[in-house]
Chain A
């Protein structure tokens, strides 16, 4: 079968995670782990790339973003924007500089760095209610 499956047509049981992380080595490691955990993974290097993806026809179920990033917007600004524009997207934030989220920060989950990439998959599945039992 040679049918093009656009992301919007992918099996709904495979959730799509948008990773926003400016450090390439962290990003690629995380992408590999989350793909192994059964997610469709999209990689963005900064908030601008993340917004480009979000504004396209690509379906995103969850955004996992670093807070401190260079560019026009950091992770908190990006989270605010996602929450107001795309309220259905779950948001997980991570930071190596903050021990916890600032009060009122728009996120469903906070994961401090350093984290074990292998354990992020389970945490994100929990957040989405999409454990491996749901994947067939």
Chain B
């Protein structure tokens, strides 16, 4: 997992997260998991939406969890760069795959408002995989995972 922290949040409590992902099923699974851990979660479908939230919503965001590959003019790296410039000190965690996003969420839950995880990371990953697997027309999944041989990892 690529993790870029623009500033140490050690003194600040992380309470509100901004989850950015253009895949709605992953976004909702990760967000709901984080809510179960006690976080307030705001969801954005793109880097552009994330910036509107950060600039105009009036909400205090403590940490951004973002997908890397997103369509549009800005991907996760571009969003991270924007945040470093405009909101330095706001931590950004980037996850290049659903399983990395699940791991990142599990890590956040370790020190979240509720000190216990609602359930195992693997259950979350399986849940995401099931959700994605039930789509009628699903493109090839590209999750880097030992159990899926022959799949090209994204990151």
Contacts and interface: CB of A to CB of B under 8 A. Distances in A.
Nearest to B132: A56
B45 A6 contact: no
A43 B43 contact: yes
25 contacts: A2-B118, A2-B120, A4-B120, A7-B32, A24-B45, A24-B49, A24-B52, A25-B52, A25-B53, A25-B56, A28-B42, A28-B53, A28-B57, A28-B59, A31-B43, A43-B43, A44-B24, A45-B24, A46-B45, A52-B24, A52-B25, A52-B135, A55-B134, A56-B131, A56-B132
Nearest to B130: A57
Contacts of A25: 52-53, 56-57
B25 A56 contact: yes
Interface residues on B, range: 20 to 34
B127 A6 contact: yes
Interface string B106-150: 000000000011111001100100111011100000000000000
Contact of A3 (B28, B52, B59, B119): B119
Contacts, number: 62
Interface residues of A, number: 21
A12 to B, nearest CB: 17
Interface of A: 2-4, 6-7, 24-25, 28, 31, 42-46, 49, 52-53, 55-58
Nearest to B33: A4
A34 B53 CA distance: 19
Closest 9 CB pairs of A and B: A45-B45, A49-B24, A24-B49, A4-B123, A4-B119, A57-B134, A2-B119, A55-B136, A56-B134
